[in-house]
Structure 1
Amino acid sequence: MTQRLAPVLPDVADDAAFAARALDWVGMDRIALPLQLPAAHGEAALQVPAEVDVAVDLRRPDTRGIHMSRLYLRLQDAFAAEPLTLSSLRRILDDLVESQRGLSGSARLVIRYEHLLRRRALASDNAGWKRYPVQLEATVADGRFRAVLGFSVEYSSTCPASAALSRQLNAARFTTDFAAARPLSTQVVGEWLASERGLAATPHAQRSRADVRVELQPSFDAGLPVEALVDALEAALGTPVQTAVKREDEQAFARLNAENLMFCEDAARRVAAALAADDRVARFEATVSHFESLHAHDAVARVSGP
């Protein structure tokens, strides 16, 4: 019985390139992959859906194309097998370069996902999950590794100018209501403050967001510091948006807003101070946006530094 040989399939990627020249990046965008995140604070490790862009350079001008399927296949199990760390990212990038067998010397990954963190309520015994959009860009070029981490933090911002104007109206109403000579006591004043007459005006506040990009130090070799950096920024801003909220939590949040009055300029400086103090950060860029409740436009401040 004659054995039939499998046909040799043509590979036109080996053909000579027209208008030959090297290419900066070649690859695929928006690949769907599972991503395993390290466990934190006693929580179990999480697997989340991610969207990944992958590319390598094409250094040989006369080569028509890269081995694109090799990039896809090597990524399929790479992130599901172990938690995402800078070390695992470096190994994956080196493997992507090696898969091209001399065609490439650089590789690039952009990973987008939502990082889930469990957050305690401010006063009640409750907690809830909160999502933080993350974008991680990692490259290896001629043996040099670089990782840039981007994420967003939402918070509340109460306008200092509006607070001052509100205090003035509250003081004016107090003067009017107590203009007649009568005995004053802490009980009388306390009852007045707790009544509707005790609140002549309220300052305007709005949900706000800090969008941050940090280049991580090359010497930092551990899991991604998403939670640590988020914690630092939320502590610096003082008024992160909440998850589970009972009345006592809402009251505590109102107190925090009064203690953390801030313009967008104030918020940007708080963010910058927190990032500049972190040894894992080589450089940062931050944009804070206050989605105004007074104006139809946003108030925005940008800051960067080492």
Structure 2
Amino acid sequence: MKYIAEPLSLMPDVAADSASSGPLAWVGMEDILIPMRVATGHGSTQQVIGHVDAFVNLFRDDQRGIHMSRLYRLIDEYLGDTPFDTHALEQLLQAFLQSHHELADRARLRLRFEQALRRKALRSDHHGWRVYPVTIEGTLGPRGLDVTVATTVTYSSTCPASAALARQVARQHFDAHFSSSAQISGSAASAWLGSELGMPATPHAQRSVAHVWIRPARGAAWDVAALIDRIEASLGTPVQTIVKRQDEQAFALANGRNLMFCEDAARRVQHALDADDSIADFHIRIVHEESLHPHNAVAHARKERKGLSGSSREYANGPRSSGAPDSAD
């Protein structure tokens, strides 16, 4: 039987049915996959696979639903070869609202992707890739555009208390080993320190994570690569890619020079972000995945500002979850 297509005007549109109607905070789609381009610093870009959540509110009492295909078509149109930035985000959100001008006055987009940055080894001439999860969220409504950026940086932390205890044990062993010597030659001391006896105890260290969320200042463009660089520089011990012996030695030296509790790490990142005028607000969550015990050590820090109100108080408590968008602004 030959299929005869009906004219579009004759096709039923049950979404326009007023049955079961009523206003809704957000309606849309989650986890739309799309290739797109992001900036990687120094004027370069790279293609990533974006995971897009797209929503508008539904303020009409007499409408059953929204036009989701319109949102999808706009995402496909706006997220492509042009690098994704604040201007592109605002344009896309404005297009969301124009496509639903009779139904919505707020639009939201959440974009998740992994950003790869090229990293040089600490001492050798080798290079490798580090990949960082990034979430960018924008909301456009009557009060204008609100943008947030979140990422995660992995680093190494060595416990200052454990280092002090290890030094005490090393000194005790040194004194015991040379207790019968009236004089200790430099060569004998150097030989002892260079042997396994010279390190009878080692401080515990662990892989640690800094979860950082920021709100760029109004009119400021985000720069994810620069943000990651700033966080890693403040901590001093970001995890490495390719590691030769000289690189591992340099990493050990960096850990020794950057002993830190989770509280110290939180303050380091806090001070680094406070010094950046392009960041209006931020929240930091530090997690040290302890090797000493099975539970983690955690610290939170945020930008201290007087007179926080409304959504600023909400955001000061930390980044929103990656689930469905929150209620209306």
1:143, distance to aligned residue in structure 2 (A)? 5.5
Cα gap change, 1:164 to 1:216, in 2 (>3 Å):
same
State the match for 1:26 in structure 2: 27
**Unmatched runs of 5 consecutive residues or more in structure 1:** none
- Describe how 1:182-197 pairs up with structure 2 within 5 A: 182-197=182-197
SS in 1 for 2:239: coil
The amino acid across from 1:106 in the alignment is R
In 1, are the aligned partners of 2:40 and 2:225 still within 8 Å (CA)?
no
State the match for 1:283 in structure 2: 281
In 1, are the aligned partners of 2:41 and 2:226 still within 8 Å (CA)?
no
State the match for 1:70 in structure 2: 70
Give the alignment partner of residue 303 of structure 1, picking from 301, 304, 309.
301
For 2:6 and 2:61, how far apart are their aligned partners in 1? 35
In 2, are the aligned partners of 1:51 and 1:111 still within 8 Å (CA)?
yes
1:103, distance to aligned residue in structure 2 (A)? 1.1
Displaced runs of 4 or more, over 6 A: none
Whether 1:102 aligns to 2:102 is yes
For 1:143 and 1:159, how far apart are their aligned partners in 2? 46
For 1:141 and 1:216, how far apart are their aligned partners in 2? 17
Q: Which stretch has the larger CA shift, 243-252 or 73-82?
A: 73-82
SS in 1 for 2:292: coil
In 1, are the aligned partners of 2:41 and 2:223 still within 8 Å (CA)?
no
1:258, distance to aligned residue in structure 2 (A)? 0.4
For 1:83 and 1:109, how far apart are their aligned partners in 2? 16
Q: Which stretch has the larger CA shift, 269-278 or 242-251?
A: 269-278
The amino acid across from 1:251 in the alignment is Q
SS in 2 for 1:38: strand
In 1, are the aligned partners of 2:40 and 2:117 still within 8 Å (CA)?
no
The amino acid across from 1:167 in the alignment is R
1:101, distance to aligned residue in structure 2 (A)? 3.0
1:283, distance to aligned residue in structure 2 (A)? 0.7
For 2:224 and 2:188, how far apart are their aligned partners in 1? 50
For 2:53 and 2:94, how far apart are their aligned partners in 1? 16
> 1:6-27 deviations in whole A, cap 9, x for unaligned?
3611112222142x43111100
- Describe how 1:46-65 pairs up with structure 2 within 5 A: 46-65=46-65
1:304, distance to aligned residue in structure 2 (A)? 1.4
> 1:196-229 deviations in whole A, cap 9, x for unaligned?
1111100000000000111111121x3x311111
1:182, distance to aligned residue in structure 2 (A)? 4.2
The alignment's C-alpha RMSD in Å is 1.5
State the match for 1:152 in structure 2: 152
Give the alignment partner of residue 245 of structure 2, picking from 224, 247, 250.
247
**Unmatched runs of 5 consecutive residues or more in structure 2:** 305-329
For 1:185 and 1:140, how far apart are their aligned partners in 2? 73
1:45, distance to aligned residue in structure 2 (A)? 2.3
SS in 1 for 2:163: helix
Give the alignment partner of residue 12 of structure 1, picking from 11, 14, 19.
14
Whether 1:37 aligns to 2:35 is no
In 2, are the aligned partners of 1:17 and 1:61 still within 8 Å (CA)?
no
In 2, are the aligned partners of 1:39 and 1:46 still within 8 Å (CA)?
yes
In 1, are the aligned partners of 2:212 and 2:283 still within 8 Å (CA)?
yes
In 1, are the aligned partners of 2:22 and 2:64 still within 8 Å (CA)?
no
User: How many residues are matched?
Assistant: 299
Whether 1:264 aligns to 2:266 is no
TM-score, normalised via structure 1 length? 0.94
Percent identity between the aligned chains?
Answer: 47
1:39, distance to aligned residue in structure 2 (A)? 4.6
For 2:218 and 2:23, how far apart are their aligned partners in 1? 28
Whether 1:135 aligns to 2:111 is no
For 1:41 and 1:14, how far apart are their aligned partners in 2? 49
State the match for 2:228 in structure 1: 230
State the match for 2:321 in structure 1: none
In 2, are the aligned partners of 1:54 and 1:110 still within 8 Å (CA)?
yes
The amino acid across from 1:11 in the alignment is D
Cα gap change, 1:286 to 1:56, in 2 (>3 Å):
same
1:38, distance to aligned residue in structure 2 (A)? 2.1
State the match for 2:117 in structure 1: 117
For 1:304 and 1:45, how far apart are their aligned partners in 2? 30
For 2:219 and 2:81, how far apart are their aligned partners in 1? 24
The amino acid across from 1:293 in the alignment is S
1:76, distance to aligned residue in structure 2 (A)? 1.2
